[in-house]
């Protein structure tokens, strides 16, 4: 698991991400939790 900051509409959001392999064995990312806005 790791964190990622995404930007949408000029605002930044912090997410907890998880990497996994799908049924075909290809690596994918999944959002575990949205932690909210990152205020600067």
- Other beta carbons less than 10 A from residue 12's beta carbon: 13
Tens digit of each residue's pLDDT (9 = 90 or more) over 2-22: 999 999 999 999 999 999 999
Cα radius of gyration rounded to whole Å, the chain: 12
H-state helical runs in 1-40: none
What does residue 9 show for φ and ψ, rounded to 5 degrees?
A: 65, 30
- Whole-structure pTM over 0.85, yes or no? no
The pLDDT value recorded for residue 39 is 83
The pLDDT, as a whole number, for residue 12 is 96
Asked if 15 and 3 count as a contact pair (C-beta separation under 8 A), the reply is yes
Ordered by start, the domain boundaries in the chain are 2-37
With CA atoms as reference, report the closest residue to 4 among 16, 18, 21: 16
């Amino acid at each position: 698991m790791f964190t990622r900051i995404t930007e949408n509409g000029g605002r930044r959001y912090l997410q907890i991400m998880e990497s996994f392999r799908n049924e075909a064995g290809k690596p994918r990312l999944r959002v575990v939790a949205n932690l909210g806005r990152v205020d600067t």
